[in-house]
Chain A
Amino acid sequence: MSEITATTPELSSHGYRNDQRETINRKTADPKPHLVIEPVSGWRSLRLGDIWEFRDLLFTLGMRDVKLVYKQTLLGVAWVVLQPLIGAGIFTFVFGMLAEMPSGALPYFAFSLAGMIGWTLFSTTLTAASTVMVTNSHLVSKIYFPRLILPLSSAFQPLVNFGVGLIVMLLLLAIYQINPGLRILLMPVAGSLLLMFALGIGFWCSSIMVRYRDLRFVIPVAVQFLLYASPVGYSLAAINEKVPAQYQSIYMLNPLASLVEFFRWTLLGEGEIAPAWMCYSILAATMTFILGAFAFRRSERGFADVI
């Protein structure tokens, strides 16, 4: 007796014999398989349990990116500190000094740095999450793991930068003697909303980029556009003051408008937040995140075949 039984469609005359054998096996062998592989079409569950099982991989991949970014650079970690400082410096010059935008009672530099830190978390996560499938295509085509791990792992490095940026921000607050008060307890919430919104868009973009690499060129342009279409270097107060009322609601359709303003408010207490628009932004961010994850799951079945 051979140790393997096989039937090919052509050998249908022997098929019944194998079928019999199989039913015998079904009774004697362990009836519960460890894993069943079957085609599933359409929408499917997120299988968060699987992601939890692969948490070591998530962590290792995330830390890999953190370690890699500043290897073989002269200034190393200093870049993490310099990037938001330079950005905030430019905004202080352009919006604060040249355009003389309002920043409440705050020094413009602290004002734009707070916006810049929140914005950088969003933009770097979005950029990293969108390209992560393509840059790790060799993993996707050779190894199984829950594919959501990849965009999720791409948030590690932006989060570390975010942490460093916050420390710089706190130092600056101490220097300017600004007391954020209890509002700062809401900062993690504001940060999470920005992160979720970025990851949500990243889920969509990364699964599209597997098929169409065009997005690689679209995303930097879109990010640049969003930077100026969101109250990062200026405040919502400036929009309310200088933009005609009928266009203000168009501006507010960008969920980042309320999210960035909210983030800055948790650090500085400065900001004009309309509750209705705030609710809209929270809903938009969470729905983008959840629907993005489902859309990613839906299209991931073809990743290994086309990447």
Chain B
Amino acid sequence: MSLLEARKVTRRFGGLTAVSAVDFRLEPGIVASVIGPNGAGKTTFFNLLAGVYEPSEGSLLFQGQPLAGLTTHQIVRRGLARTFQNIRLFGPMSVLENLLIGMHTQMKTSVISQWLNTPAGRAEEKAARVKCLETLDFVGLQGEAHKAANSLPYGHQRLVEIARALASDPKLLLLDEPAAGMNPSETHELTELIGRIRDKGITVLLIEHDIKLVMEISQQVMVLDHGHKISEGTPEHVSKDPKVIEAYLGAPEE
């Protein structure tokens, strides 16, 4: 069974069709990318998956279950976490607290027992902190836990956002342009991190403009242009597809 399946998904905004009849299947355990020129509908496709928008037509299945009618937070509970194109951290809060908020869906103790400060509630809170610190180590931010999130350099803020998404223990991680604004060495570290996330068994779907990163890490690439899927397959296949070259560079002159 595919982890994620989009069936003829269409999304219109008034007269504009941002995503048009896109079919997409994502197998578990891989890194896949969605690429395309600006305005191709990539972020809209992500927002459809994350429940920010409902499809105008078509349906989305996650682990065989339809996502229709679910709100964003319910979808997170099902195991689909995301990051944002423009970083959206809880700025004045500490890095650790950002991750603890990411773990919100994992907290099982009732609010009442947290208020009464029961041993079970305290144990859960302690375990959550340990797990968040481990996640910070995993993304390479050990030692930054107690700094305010907005005091970190840009590249590290991106990592905090990824760590926050990982804290929800997702099955599928959506990364919206994770390398945007990163320098080459940061991008290299990010590429390596995405590989390690996949090795943990978490499927990764990313939107990315850095073609080198996409080609290096993805097993599957989907190309969108003007809302349509124009090509799909391995990185090698896609990079040689004339339709893709045309979308990016324009049609050759006669």
Answer whether A and B are interacting partners.
no
Interface residues of A (CB under 8 A from B): none
